[in-house]
Amino acid sequence: MAELRAVNHDAKTNKEISGIDMPVIGLGVWMMNQPGECLQAVTDAISIGYRLIDTARAYGNEKEVGQAVRDSSVPRDEITVVTKLRRVHAVGYESTIENCRLSLELLGLEYIDLYLVHAPPEDPTAREPVWRAMEDLLSEGMVRSIGVSNYGLHHLEHLKRYARVLPSVNQVELNPWIQRRELHQATRDIGALTMAYSPLARGQKAQDRQLESMCEGLGFTAPQAAIKWCIDNGAIVIPKSSHPGRQLENFQSMDVDLSRIIDEMNKLDSNHVSGWDPTVEP
Ligand SMILES: NC(=O)c1ccc[n+]([C@@H]2O[C@H](COP(=O)([O-])OP(=O)(O)OC[C@H]3O[C@@H](n4cnc5c(N)ncnc54)[C@H](OP(=O)(O)O)[C@@H]3O)[C@@H](O)[C@H]2O)c1
Q: pLDDT, tens digit, for every residue of 186-230?
A: 999 999 999 999 999 999 999 999 999 999 999 999 999 999 999
Decide if domain 3-280 falls under CATH 3.20.20.100: yes
Tell me what pLDDT residue 193 has. 98
Query: Per-residue pLDDT tens for 224-262?
Result: 999 999 999 999 999 999 999 999 999 999 999 999 999
For the chain, what is the radius of gyration of the CA atoms? Answer: 18
CA neighbor of 86 nearest in space, from 98, 77, 74, 75: 98
Cα–Cα dist 254/244, whole Å: 16
Angstrom CA distances, 47 to 14, 43, 50, 59, 74, stand at: 38, 6, 7, 22, 9
pTM of the model: 0.98
Query: Per-residue pLDDT tens for 139-156?
Result: 999 999 999 999 999 999
Measured by CA distance, the residue closest to atom 47 of ligand 1 is 28
pLDDT band at 55 (very low <50, low <70, confident <90, very high): very high
Pocket of ligand 1 contains residue 240 by CB under 6 Å: yes
Pocket of ligand 1 contains residue 150 by CB under 6 Å: yes
Angstrom CA distances, 217 to 73, 188, 213, stand at: 38, 35, 9
Cα–Cα dist 137/113, whole Å: 11
Q: Mutate which of 30, 40, 240 to test ligand 1's pocket (most atoms within 8 Å of Cβ)?
A: 240
Pocket of ligand 1 contains residue 83 by CB under 6 Å: no
Measured by CA distance, the residue closest to atom 15 of ligand 1 is 240
Query: Per-residue pLDDT tens for 7-47?
Result: 999 999 999 999 999 999 999 999 999 999 999 999 999 99
Tell me what pLDDT residue 93 has. 98
Cα–Cα dist 30/156, whole Å: 25
- Ligand 1 centre and the CA of 198: distance in Å? 5
Calculate the dihedral angle through the C-alpha atoms of 66, 71, 75, 81, rounding to the nearest 10 degrees: -20
- Ligand 1 centre and the CA of 246: distance in Å? 11
Q: Say which residues have a Cβ less than 8 Å from residue 206's Cβ, sequence separation at least 6.
A: 200, 222, 223
Pairing label, strands 52-54, 80-85:
parallel
Query: Per-residue pLDDT tens for 70-128?
Result: 999 999 999 999 999 999 999 999 999 999 999 999 999 999 999 999 999 999 999 99
Tell me what pLDDT residue 139 has. 98
Cα–Cα dist 100/112, whole Å: 9
Domain boundaries, the chain: 3-280
